Structure 1
């Protein structure tokens, strides 16, 4: 038995809460994961999991074994990373999660340069506007707009400015608002963005100096994916408030027109977040260094952030 692999597999089952999820994350057959855990239990002489037809739960012995091996494996990974730093380039797979517009508009177009700099890193880019469990899903890092998860390390990488816009056809039909109050007064159609997790729509925000004003609109169309949100504006469904980088190509082609430019809210901070035990991973460090260099430029904003 590959004892080290069995320990890693056991840890993934604990973190994901199931053999099937662990197998998916490790890209191993479920039967292999089950066999490795069973062999580990036989070698240790204890049951690590209680299994029923409905659930898998870790035993007290399994929880104690997980805590000890988790720290040991993290130290081993740190040591291997230290050795890898002496090589020309880190190697292996890096799993990333990000939203649709950030992936399509910022990350993927710049990836050829990353691949040229780090040819040994194989990237797996998950694209979703849902907030995933990085530890449970085995994801190395994600780009998020919040840094409030105590289980994750967060590094600020960029501030993303907003643009409120609509298609020329829509504005020709309904008029161009000059003030946020015009949206309500003239009963403008607004395309909202709602959270896939909560189902609640994000309010439009407008700022004048230090004053924010929620438009208090009735949304006529709502979507929960960022690229579709911008596409709805291009289709003439109404006014949207989206990231400037997402609207920029359409603004340049005349497919969208910026409105209420003097009332845009403060930029949204974006963070790279990752589990603490991956902080010394060479692949993650390479990606962090790279993304903090290229993202501000691609987003059209300045940043003096330096990763620690």
Structure 2
């Protein structure tokens, strides 16, 4: 197939409409008329043979095919933008809007306290964080995704950020009142703070690992949370025992507000990965953010070990 320059133009208009949500706002961004934008989208749809938008008088939404096209085309546009920047001799400039789909635990417990450092380091970056655990379509509308757990999406570039311990902890207040469990089986006599798995809607099971062996322990508790900051605050206040990723807990462990328990059974480690779709020439803003979150992840892990 010979290259059609109009296809590239159409993709640029498509990106503006997807971003703006309607033809009128896209036209303002591009300096075109709404009818000109509409014709460009119609030509693009005819060129590739699928309908990209569902239209209404007030807004447009991406069709299923449009979502797929958007996910594949945006990295290519970003690569062209980066190539143009490099050609202009400004490859070191980190700028533009960066959309990150990120695990809520890492976002709140590790990234958020360090955001002033990143924003000060890169004053031309506009950062948009989307806090979610879900993996389905996690790259839709995002330049980068950050998720705990093993990588399972072969079509994306994957970068491992860290391995963190899974620890069981309590506050000195709780341990003074109820005593410290000596073995995982002792937890049946204690109050657990339960954390809801967003994928299943049920609390995460509690596992313990020792010398290469893993086993699950049934725990009970009257409080179930889905926000890590709530879980940590409740644990510090003495509501119950909490099992958590160690990353992000460094400050509370360091000042003694949280105390690791059952440490002989805390051999489990959990990975954190970053994903991005660009196989060649990822934008400078993507490289800068990936380097930064790995930097702070390593620092936090060292603090919580």
TM-score bracket relative to the smaller structure: 0.7 to 0.9
Aligned to 1:141: 144
Aligned to 2:169: 165
Aligned to 1:224: 226
Aligned to 2:38: 38
**Aligned CA distance change for structure 1 residues 89 and 75 (closer, same or farther; 3 Å):** closer
Q: Distance in 2 between matches of 1:139 and 1:64?
A: 13
Note the C-alpha offset of 1:164.
Answer: 1.0
Q: Distance in 2 between matches of 1:162 and 1:240?
A: 11
Aligned to 1:109: 113
Q: Distance in 1 between matches of 2:251 and 2:76?
A: 49
Q: Distance in 2 between matches of 1:193 and 1:275?
A: 31
Aligned to 2:211: 209
CA contact (8 A) 1:41 1:48 kept: no
Q: Distance in 2 between matches of 1:161 and 1:43?
A: 53
Q: Distance in 1 between matches of 2:71 and 2:174?
A: 58
Aligned to 2:31: none
**Aligned CA distance change for structure 1 residues 198 and 234 (closer, same or farther; 3 Å):** same
2:186 is the alignment partner of 1:182? yes
**Aligned CA distance change for structure 1 residues 166 and 84 (closer, same or farther; 3 Å):** farther
Aligned to 2:250: 248
Aligned to 1:16: none
TM-score by length of 2: 0.76
**Aligned CA distance change for structure 1 residues 280 and 55 (closer, same or farther; 3 Å):** closer
Note the C-alpha offset of 1:242.
Answer: 1.3
**Aligned CA distance change for structure 1 residues 134 and 6 (closer, same or farther; 3 Å):** farther
CA deviation map 1:260-280 (0-9, x unaligned): 112113221111112236862
Ranges in structure 1 where 5+ consecutive residues have no aligned partner = 14-21, 303-308
2:236 is the alignment partner of 1:234? yes
SS class of match (1:161): strand
SS class of match (2:248): helix
2:269 is the alignment partner of 1:267? yes
Q: How many residues align?
A: 285
CA contact (8 A) 2:79 2:282 kept: no
Note the C-alpha offset of 1:92.
Answer: 0.7
**Aligned CA distance change for structure 1 residues 210 and 200 (closer, same or farther; 3 Å):** same
Q: Distance in 2 between matches of 1:63 and 1:256?
A: 44
SS class of match (1:10): helix
Note the C-alpha offset of 1:176.
Answer: 0.8
Aligned to 1:284: 286
**Aligned CA distance change for structure 1 residues 76 and 239 (closer, same or farther; 3 Å):** same
Aligned to 2:128: 124
Note the C-alpha offset of 1:239.
Answer: 0.8
Query: Which of 88, 92, 98 is residue 94 of structure 1 equivalent to?
Result: 98
CA contact (8 A) 1:204 1:214 kept: yes
Q: Distance in 1 between matches of 2:72 and 2:194?
A: 47
Alignment of structure 1 residues 3-14 onto 2, 5 Å: 6-10=10-14
SS class of match (2:181): coil
SS class of match (1:177): coil
**Aligned CA distance change for structure 1 residues 153 and 4 (closer, same or farther; 3 Å):** same
TM-score by length of 1: 0.76
**Aligned CA distance change for structure 1 residues 81 and 211 (closer, same or farther; 3 Å):** farther
Q: Distance in 1 between matches of 2:8 and 2:287?
A: 24
